[in-house]
Amino acid sequence: MRLGLFDSGVGGLTVLKSIKEHKLFDEIIYYGDTARVPYGTKDKNTIIRYALEAVEFLKNFEVDMIVAACNSVSAYAIEEIREHINLPVLGVIEPGVKALLKRDAKPKDHILILGTTATIQSQKYERLLHANGFLNITALATPLFVPLVEEGIFEGEILDSTMRHYFKDIKDPDFIILGCTHFPLLKDSLQDYFPNSILIHSGEAIVEHLQSNFDITKSSNSPTLKLFASSDPDGLKRVAKLWLS
Q: Is 242 in the site for a second copy (CB under 8 A)?
A: no
Q: Is 157 in the site for a second copy (CB under 8 A)?
A: yes
Q: Which stretch binds a second copy (CB under 8 A): 17-25, 58-66, 145-153, 207-215?
A: 145-153
Q: Which of 165, 226, 238, 241 is the binder for a second copy (CB under 8 A)?
A: 165
Binding positions for a second copy, 17-56, rule CB under 8 A: 34-37, 41-43, 45-46
Report the chain's terminal Cα–Cα distance, integer Å: 23
Catalytic one of 16, 75, 180, 205: 180
Q: Is 231 in the site for a second copy (CB under 8 A)?
A: yes
Q: Is 101 in the site for a second copy (CB under 8 A)?
A: no
Classify burial at 13, counting beta carbons within 10 Å of its beta carbon; exposed 0-12, middle 13-18, buried 19 or more: buried
Told to judge if 180 belongs to the known catalytic residues of this protein, a careful annotator would answer yes
DSSP string computed for 135-154: -EEEEEE-TTHHHHHHTT--
Told to judge if 70 belongs to the known catalytic residues of this protein, a careful annotator would answer yes
Q: Is 143 in the site for a second copy (CB under 8 A)?
A: yes
Backbone φ and ψ for 164, nearest 5 degrees, come out as -60, -40
Residue 80 beta carbon to a second copy: minimum distance, rounded to whole angstroms: 16
Q: Is 82 in the site for a second copy (CB under 8 A)?
A: no
Tell me how far apart the alpha carbons of residues 216 and 212 are, in angstroms, rounded to a whole number.
10
Residue 7 DSSP code: E
Residues 6+ apart with CB under 8 A from 155: 188, 189
Tell me how far apart the alpha carbons of residues 182 and 150 are, in angstroms, rounded to a whole number.
8
Which residues of the chain form contacts with a second copy (CB under 8 A)?
Answer: 34-37, 41-43, 45-46, 143-144, 146-148, 150-151, 153, 156-158, 160-162, 164-165, 230-232, 235
- Residues annotated as catalytic (active site), given as ranges: 70, 180
